[in-house]
Structures are given as structure tokens and as C-alpha cells.
Structure 1
Amino acid sequence: MRTPSTLLAAFTLLAVTACGAAGPVNSGSTSTGGQPLTQGATPMQQTMYFGAQYRFDEGLIIGVSTPKSFRPSGSAYPASSRAVAFEISIRNDGDQPYQLSGLSVSATVASVAAKQVQDPTQGYSGIIDAGKDVQPGRDTQVTLAFAVPDQPTQLQLCVRPSTNSPAVAVYGGSA
């Protein structure tokens, strides 16, 4: 039987490879509410389960929901027999506007990149407000979907506040 700590250790190992983070990994410091605890210097990478929130140094707080499985419509791109969707909540507690266009989200299944699914028929259109800024003290939500195998699988979602950010929050679990 797999224990949560064994699964978290496996996610951490995969995350280092899949997300390409260069830096220390802090895989065991979350509170009972899923919030990462601060322990001295902020880690370059934080691994947690879906449903948790992570606070980046810039004051950006990002939460990722548990995955919601769905069958993409015939008009979805790329074509896939199954996909999972995530609600990503973004709160700007920093002192500067956050450019939503900088948000970087990628997914991996078994160390292989998962393709983002665009299915406007079902409301999965990617980051449609990418040109907007999230002002300090404000929040927004983005819904993204990724193609996954037909059978339940382990999935990781890597979130960075910008594509060149060394900090990465890695969310993992079953999908």
C-alpha cells in the first residue's frame, strides 16, 4: 500500500526531472490546510497535493484545484479521449500589478509532457484574459485542461509566476 509520504517522495523525484527546477526541494513542509510553511529561505521548488496553495516571494498566491475529469468534445484541440481540468486561483498580495500573460503552467504524466486541451464548447479556452494585469489586493481564476490517458494516472502540474522564474510550485496527485 502506498502511503502519502511515499507518494510525495515519488512526486518530488519526478518533479525535479519534469519541471527542470534547479535548486533545493522542500517536500514535507505543509500545514494541515495544505499551505506551505515558511522555513527560512524560500525553496526554489515546492511540491504539494492538488487543492493546496503556494505563496511565491513576489506575493503571488496560487492555488490549484483537484483535477476534474471530462470527455473533450469533437471540436477540442488536440483530439483526446479524456482530459482533466484545473481551476487555478491567483491572488496578488504583492505591491506591483501581476501580468497574467507571464503565468507558466505545464503538466506531465509519467514524465511525459501532457498537451493542453482547448475545448471552447465546454469552457476550456486557456488563459483568455492573458492581456490583463492582476492588481495588488485582487484575484482571478483561470481554468486549464490537459490531455491524459483513459485510465486514472499520476499527474503533475508545474506552475511558475513567469517562464523565467526559478521558483516553481509542483502539484501532484491522481487524475
Structure 2
Amino acid sequence: MVSPRIAGPRPHHVGVQADRRTGLGDGVFAARGHGGEDLFSSALTPRTGFYPQYHSGDIDALHISYFRHKYASERAFRTCNLRKSAGFELVAQGADPLPPAEDADGFYRMEVVKDGPEVLFSINGLSLFAWSDPAAVPLGGGYFGIRQMAPLRAAYRNLMVGPLSDGDHAAMT
């Protein structure tokens, strides 16, 4: 799932509910080509779905992984990771409060707030991490999308992308 191209600071909200025990979910945002090209530009190398093409190819983006339940090591110590690409650099990490599918209680509200270099991530209002991009020109604009690794099967609802409110700005300070 990919959103229209996004300009400027925006919060992203989505409800998620997993119905499989294993897999991994990933929210991708501020996605664009290295030179600022549109994500769907023919100037970019064609992609076939192989994940290294996205994290180490000619795309710049931020990726938040959640429900990291694919491997035993991920299920034993659950974290949400923020990575910056190209390069797949782990830049922030927080606890993942999403329970196994059989213990889930409906949909969980995930929120990403991105404003300039600042990124906040929360689930059901619980702040999981905050990060400030040290780059002279932080990633911004671009596209937002959701991907899943098999065998995860999850439902999403109420995706909202909108302008930041005063409350969003206050939460970032």
C-alpha cells in the first residue's frame, strides 16, 4: 500500500490487527529517489520486491518495523526498529507492545509524527521512540507505504495522513 506523494510535516495514523502468529510489519515513509526523484521515476532502478533493493538501492526512506515475530530471536525480545536508508542504518529502537495475534484485543493505533528532522513513533498513545535526523538535509516529503513479510497477515484501517496540529508539535519538544 502506497500513499500519494506527501509534502511537508505530517502525522501518519493507522490501525493494525495481526491474525497470524509470525511475520513482520514495516511502515515506510519519506520515500524517494536519491536525488529527490519521484519513487516511481523511470530514472530509478526497477524493483521486484526483493527487500535489499529498497533498503540498499537507490531509494532514500525511513522504515519502522513492528510486530517483528518472524524469527525466534525477534519473538523472544520484541522491538520496533527505525532504520534509515539507503544503507539500512538502525537509528532508533523501542519496545514493541503489540501482543501475539491470539492475545490481541482489536486494532492497535500506530502513529508516526515526522516534522523536519524529528520522528516520533507510538502505539495506542505509548511513546516508543523519538529520533532526530542529524543530516544537514533530513529526509522529508516522499511517499508513505506499508509492507509485510510472510507469513504475517494483518488488517489495517483508518489510515490518515494530515497536517500537524499544535498538539503534535508540542509532543515533539
TM-score, normalised by the number of residues in structure 1: 0.27
Q: Higher relative contact order by CA 8 Å / sep ≥ 6: 1 or 2?
A: 2
TM-score by length of 2: 0.27
